[in-house]
Structure 1
Amino acid sequence: MSFSPVISFDEITKKFPIRKGFKVQYVHAVRNVSLDIYQGEIISIVGESGCGKTTLLRLLARIYLEDNGEIVFEGKSIPKRFSRREELEFRRKVQMIFQDPFSSLNPVKKIYQILKRPLELQKFDNVEKRIYEALEEVELTPPDNFINKYPYELSGGQRQRVVIARAIITKPSVILADEPTSMLDVSIRAGIMKLMLKIRDDFNTTYLHVTHDLAASRYISDRIAVMYAGMLLEVGLSDEVVLNPLHPYTKLLRKAAPDPDKLVSEKLGNTGEVPNLITPPKGCPFEPRCNYSMEKCKNTIPPYFEIDGRKIRCFLFEK
């Protein structure tokens, strides 16, 4: 792992307009997110639905454009408008695995055509050889059994392997994985995660992995970043964050995760409601649900405090 980040988010914000009658309001989806990601690292963004995880991923993929802040890739700020040459180079290096393997594959194209298209756009030599290599890399062997099939002829796990093959076919340095196992059966998920780890080990690929599953994030990640109401609240090594959570919200997530060693699940009690992101709290976003809330939490967003290499956005750790 290199010492200079391959990706840096610097105070990124993103809001989406919604119209109510004649009035336009804004959903504050991502707020003041700063995060460094290093080459060969797998970092998971973990949080409840609607917390901004996928939006952050799509900002890096340039599906959305940030309102404020800067995203740096390989030492250069990513422009909001690419030239054709710049976009082709960026797309070759940064690829995305979408959540639903069926809807992300063209149903009227055969697997060969689906994998051939990015190679044609990038003007790769030996297209057919690379297609066969990619299918072997994702363990769809022998490739001849798959290249002439349509997506509907494959199982869910096989379709996701095709999606991963399409993502790695241009030999990217960064893969953005948006809940890549959430649409799959439990028995298939472990195989897909092992495949992602194998690709990282073979090609030193960097992953930004989005999930709501703490167990999956611990298994696959080097670090975990916990997101809530558009903000990162805790960032640290995966084992430390899961086994010894420090932020009150991370503790709640850990408590809510099923534990196979416990015969009786813990009672969560009244955990409160997720805040309205049209009018988010002025201070800490978790303050309305927090059992440790202080007066200043209501009006001041806490900065990051560093505890044993872990970053925590909480006034409990101010000293």
Structure 2
Amino acid sequence: MTQLPVLTLEEITADWLSEILQARVVSVTATPIGTGQVGATYRLTLDYGSGSGPSTLVIKLPSNDPLSRATGKSHMTYIRESRFYQLFAGRKPMAVPSHLYIAFDEDSHAFTLLMHDLPQHRAGNQLVAATLREAALAMEAAATFHAGWWGDPMLDKLDWLSGTRAVPPQLDIEAIYAMFWPAFCDRYGERVTENMRTVGEAFVGRINQWSESRTGERCLTHNDFRPDNMLYHLDDPAKPIVIVDWQTVGVGTGAGDIAYYLGTALDPETRKVQERALFDIYLDSLKANGVTNLGIATAWDDYRRSAIAGFLMGVTASMVVGQTDRGDTMFLAMCERSAAMVLDHRDLAIPS
């Protein structure tokens, strides 16, 4: 793989962009966008003088927050996203941004990701429950990248993917959760609801048991599949939804991404009524994308066993990224919605 130089925001100059775009850029300005906790994303506005080219681009860099940046390196989130764009994006039909440049530094884990902008798309918002139309689009989008590498043994040869079998697990998830759960309760106090406490306590000492209970065909998974990581333009027939933030990309069961999304994106009552219909949209989309060895009953059971996924992310991620008011509200919402899902499916969702 060609080693391209990593650039800082200050090095994204008009001259450098002129070389990338093969068009004379006169000036460029950067404006922060997005709500990411681990990455820093900017919209670049380009002036061509008398020439022409894309008026805006998007660039993503490591976080400016030292704690979040250290987390990005230690948890391998920066290498995962960089390698995803180097090895997967654009290789098969997927609802992902088109990128112009991707560079990664092995030592520091600094990276530079330059992408085409989608100015007509709006960002999803984790704090506002998704609509059924948005949820259906998410089901279809997940099926594209799950199907693209469905059961592909190559995935387990990549030691940078989350959940890979190429190397032993680098983190003791059982111990991490046992440490973070009481810290989560201490931080948020009375904001931790009864449902959250019931579910949180039920998984202390049972994370590995839960993980080993999940079956199903392994595939490429996003692992943070929720509205904040989606862009929508419902009137765009080509790309009504685009999935971003591939920092947690890994290998796992596709039903896990679906449970994560439906458990964190929908309000619990809507999810309870609509989840089977939305799951069926996902299954139909898998088939439309060429998956033939699909056990429907097994997939549904694995979806139910995966109900805790969003809760685990809410607890652990809140403890390792820079704390913000929005972040606190978001993590609590994820945990509360996911806790309701776990309790709705407790016969399979909670290890016995």
- TM-score, normalization by structure 1: 0.26
Q: By percentage of residues, which structure has more strand?
A: 1
Q: By percentage of residues, which structure has more helix?
A: 2
